Amino acid sequence: MQTNINSVLKNLGILDLNPAYSTGNTWGGKANSVTIDSYSPVDGKKIAAVRVADKEDYETVLTQAETALIFWRNQPAPKRGDIVRQLGDALRIHKEDLGTLVSYEMGKSLQEGLGEVQEMIDICDFAVGLSRQLYGLTMHSERPNHRMYEQWHPLGIVGIISAFNFPVAVWSWNAALALVCGNVCVWKPSSKTPLCAVACQHILARVLKQNEMPEGISSLLIGNATGDLINNDKRIPLVSFTGSTRIGRKVSAAVATRFGKSILELGGNNAIIISKDADLDMSIIGAVFGAVGTAGQRCTSTRRLIIHEDIYESFKNKLVKAYGQLRIGDPLDQHNHVGPLIDKDAVDMYNQAIGKGKTEGARFVVEGGTLTGDAYNSGCYVKPCVAEVENHYEIVQEETFAPILYLIKYKTLDQAIALQNSVPQGLSSAIMTLNLREAEQFLSCAGSDCGIANVNIGTSGAEIGGAFGGEKETGGGRESGSDAWKGYMRRQTNTINYAATLPLAQGIKFDL
């Protein structure tokens, strides 16, 4: 495995890089600076050490970004789009290697790692088209011989703080849109997956260099301390943060204090309602993948199944049987369904959640636990588990980033929707039903209160064409498709007077 990953790193061009930061074509950091080690949760082996950026490195990056912004925002949007198109082409070339690195450094299955890179390619394609559609509105003026319209301008430097569970895709959601909108980007990735970030930055840096672009259009900063610097920096008008609700509150407060803008993608506590009119076989697939995909470490992972009482026992039995067929192990082995958690701290949180659930009265129909043995020597492998609970249990109201699925019984659809909505988070939701009335009620204003509401598909897995994000403690942010691009720009209303006189609005008279 180690020889294989070294080959992957070499193919990605990062085997000998040990940067604290990158401003594009330049990689830097002090040779004696503090380092962080990246360990794979797959086998517990150290992949590499990466230097950590200090405040001096941070200032180097910001200075380059400020200079690059002056050049980049003045390029025609389709020209900016062409650079992003080339990034998408480069990602196509490196899809297998980058997907493998994502799988090995983060622990998700190889299929999911490859899917994450495909998501990057898709957002680049979306952004290329968007670069010719940064449209504004035209309005009729109340004053004769006047024209009113609005246009959108880039905000400036966009700070991107991403999480370990999607170490490359979330950066691309932000970067592709921010770049075509005329912004420059400064990226602080998770310190748990720094090599994935280095690989992405290296791929984009080559594209920028081939096009003779200046330093600083896209920059990378390694190390947790740089997050606070970004959040409190008035030179960065927008911070896009993906992570826990707890940290998101701090980010939001820091950015708002300086009147900056933030895009927050925080916790999820997602439910699927299983109707008595559901296709149960299809529902099982959606529920199991939603609960165990990425080992339950997606913000859109399915945490709760709200099941109609008439089919509760039969569906539970189907679910238990399906869980018995799951294969847990090396995520690079495509025969396995479930890989490891990101690290041993995550395993501890998983075990604590199980203990707390049992204390509150949860009855586990599929028992959990930590896996041991040669195949699981990293200490990061756990058993996906299923528990019968009441929705009001404290542990059920929380988001646990692990493959723990809670079963809840309901009588009426109104009750099911109320159960689904009665958690602090509001990211993703779904209903499995062949009943049109149920589906429409679920999607109505009296239905799901989440930013994402699906019918006959699960809670996890989002296409880039739609805006991604949620309500309540999920933060209210929107990224990716639809008109999410507007979050990276500032709106300006313009009025042009082509008359020989100066009439005032509202009929006001002011004669000299």
Question: Could you give the residue numbers annotated as active site?
Answer: 265
Rounded Cα distance, 300 and 322, in Å: 21
**Three-state SS for 122?**
helix
Largest CA distance in the chain: 91
Q: How far is CA 425 from CA 161, 269, 429, 450, in A?
A: 20, 6, 11, 8
3 state SS for 40-100: CCCCCCEEEEEECCCHHHHHHHHHHHHHHHHHHCCCCHHHHHHHHHHHHHHHHHCHHHHHH
**Three-state SS for 19?**
coil
- Regarding beta strands 138-140 and 146-154, do their DSSP bridges make them parallel or antiparallel, or are they unpaired? antiparallel
Short-list 73, 86, 160, CA closest to 125: 86
- Tokens linked to 37: 């080690």
Task: Please identify which residue in the block is written with the tokens 């909505």.
Answer: 421
Whether 52 contacts 200, CB under 8 Å:
no
Whether 180 contacts 80, CB under 8 Å:
yes
The enclosing H or E element of 308 equals strand 302-308
Residue 125: other Cβ atoms inside 10 A: 15
Task: Please identify which residue in the block is written with the tokens 């109609």.
Answer: 308
Helices (H) and strands (E) in the chain, counts: 15, 23
Whether 194 contacts 171, CB under 8 Å:
no
Task: Please identify which residue in the block is written with the tokens 């040990």.
Answer: 18
b (16+ CB within 10 A) / e for 29-58: beeebebeebbbbbbeeebbebbbbbeebb
